[in-house]
């Protein structure tokens, strides 16, 4: 398990405990765990990282290795299993945590500063001098061994009354030299593989604009500050308005007790909406633009692109307030086509940030 995932699970942290510093970006670190005898080795050189997961032979299953190469600059990754001749290389995209052992350093420092973990002596593990910290949270006892020099969590364990101690992190070997460039070379099986577009590339293609100007409205949490919201329904790429629409909203939606919605579709493609607190605000739509008022941190939104034989679907939107009046785009891809879909995008900046005239 990566250190960052350990941090997220326990809401704790630990850290470059004696001297805060910028985490290194060149290293080779081996961790044990995941399966009996299994190890994960992470090689990193700047924006390139290779994760190798080794599983020993177990029962009738042979030993295996899985390689995943991450390009941290582009958010793309490739995976392959060299010991399985039938396995092809696969390509993908990623964002956020990829498994960097140093990803949780700042949070760990914060946890120590708040007293969640307290000093509990020192110990040398696998030749590495560590400061030991211990504490408890939510009924579980926690213990972490932190590299005095570099802030890497070398070992982390959790235990609860009556249960065996569980090791969450167990680093067995560390080197801070730069791995050879050949380590990050793709095998021939990956030569013809191309990763799908990243989320930012898709947004740039949809809007014809810098993806940094937008935030996906389907991802939470919602902003703490409130704002009024203007919705624009537009065609992807051209950003021209789609005007023949219905809009319904439920600002009382509760994720812990979600309501059941029902809609009826007429022959002309118009709909009726019921369930929860959803109500139609189509009478306020003008040229594909409608005010949503001052919604809560999240709300349910339904936009129907009116056409015979065409229905809509509601989506949960998380509020993001970048201005007193924020602009939310419903960007429709392949409008009227067989693969029609849409994305809710909040506008942070750029030419679409000013609220449009209605």
The answer on 203 and 311 residing in a single domain is: yes
pLDDT digits (tens, 9 = 90+) for 113-133: 777 778 999 999 988 999 998
Does residue 149 lie within any of the structural domains? yes
- Going by the DSSP 8-state scheme, the letter that residue 357 receives in this structure is P
Residue 322 three-state SS? coil
Residue 257: burial class (beta carbons within 10 Å; 0-12, 13-18, 19+):
exposed
Q: What is the pLDDT of residue 106?
A: 53
Whether 47 maps to a domain, the answer reads yes
| CATH number of the domain enclosing 328 | 2.60.40
Q: Looking at residue 86, what is its pLDDT?
A: 57
> How many residues can be counted in the chain?
358
Is there a contact between 145 and 132 (Cβ–Cβ < 8 Å)? yes
Give residue 87's pLDDT.
61
Q: Are residues 168 and 255 in the same domain?
A: no
Q: Is residue 89 part of a domain?
A: yes
Predicted pLDDT at 246: 95
For residues 183 and 229, state if they share a domain.
no
Same domain, 170 and 216: no
CB atoms within 10 A of CB 121: 10
Please report which helix (H) or strand (E) contains residue 200, including its range: helix 199-207
The Cα-based distances of 225 to 214, 221, 324 in angstroms read: 18, 12, 9
Among residues 170, 190, 210, the one where a domain terminates is 190
pLDDT of residue 326: 97
**Residue 109, pLDDT score:** 63
Q: Does 358 reside within a domain?
A: no
Helices of type H across 97-136: 105-113
Q: Answer yes or no: is 316 within a domain.
A: yes
CATH number at residue 162: 2.50.20
Per-residue pLDDT at 6: 43
Of 173, 190, 207, which one is at a domain's C-terminal end?
A: 190
299, 214: one domain: yes
Distance of CA 123 to the CA centre of its chain: 35
Number of domains in the chain: 2
One domain for residues 248 and 222 = yes
Residue 170 shares a structural domain with residue 282: no
83 with 155, same domain: the answer is yes
Tell whether 173 and 222 lie within a shared domain.
no
Range of the structural domain that residue 232 is part of: 199-347
Is 354 within the bounds of a domain? no
Quick one: pLDDT at residue 210? Answer: 95
Both 179 and 33 in a single domain?
A: yes
Q: Is residue 326 part of a domain?
A: yes
User: Same structural domain for residues 243 and 118?
Assistant: no
With a cut of 70, which residues of the chain have pLDDT below it? 1-21, 84-87, 104-111, 138, 357-358
Domain assignment present for residue 182? The answer is: yes
Q: Are residues 163 and 236 in the same domain?
A: no
């Amino acid at each position: 398990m990566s250190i960052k995932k350990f941090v997220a699970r326990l809401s704790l942290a630990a850290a470059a405990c004696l001297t805060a510093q910028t985490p290194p970006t060149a290293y080779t670190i081996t961790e044990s765990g995941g399966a009996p005898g299994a190890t994960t080795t992470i090689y990193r050189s700047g924006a390139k990282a290779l994760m190798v997961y080794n599983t020993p032979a177990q029962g009738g299953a042979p030993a295996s290795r899985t390689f995943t190469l991450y390009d941290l600059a582009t958010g793309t990754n490739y995976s392959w299993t060299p010991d399985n001749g039938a396995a092809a290389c696969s390509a993908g995209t990623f964002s956020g945590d990829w498994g960097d052992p140093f990803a949780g350093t700042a949070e760990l420092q914060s946890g120590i500063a708040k007293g969640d973990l307290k000093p509990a002596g020192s110990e040398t593990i696998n030749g590495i001098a560590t400061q030991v910290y211990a504490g408890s949270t939510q009924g579980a006892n926690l213990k972490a061994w932190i590299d005095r020099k570099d802030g890497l969590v070398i070992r982390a364990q959790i235990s609860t009354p009556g249960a065996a101690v569980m090791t969450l992190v167990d680093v067995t070997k560390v080197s801070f030299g730069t791995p050879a460039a050949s380590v990050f070379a793709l095998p021939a099986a990956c030569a013809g593989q191309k990763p799908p577009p990243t989320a930012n590339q898709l947004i740039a293609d949809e809007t014809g604009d810098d993806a940094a100007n937008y935030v996906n409205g389907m991802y939470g949490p919602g902003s703490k500050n409130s704002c009024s919201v203007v919705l624009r329904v537009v065609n992807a790429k051209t950003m021209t308005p789609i005007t023949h629409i219905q809009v319904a909203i439920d600002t009382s939606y509760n994720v812990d007790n979600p309501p059941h919605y029902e809609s009826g579709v007429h022959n002309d493609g118009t709909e009726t909406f019921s369930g929860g607190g959803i109500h139609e605000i189509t009478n306020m739509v003008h040229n594909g633009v409608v005010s949503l008022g001052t919604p809560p941190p999240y709300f349910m939104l339904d936009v129907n692109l009116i056409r015979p034989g065409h229905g809509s679907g509601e989506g949960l939107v998380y509020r993001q307030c970048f201005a007193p009046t924020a602009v939310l785009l419903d960007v429709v891809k392949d409008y009227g086509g067989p693969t029609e879909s849409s994305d809710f995008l909040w506008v942070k900046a750029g030419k679409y940030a000013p609220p449009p005239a209605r």
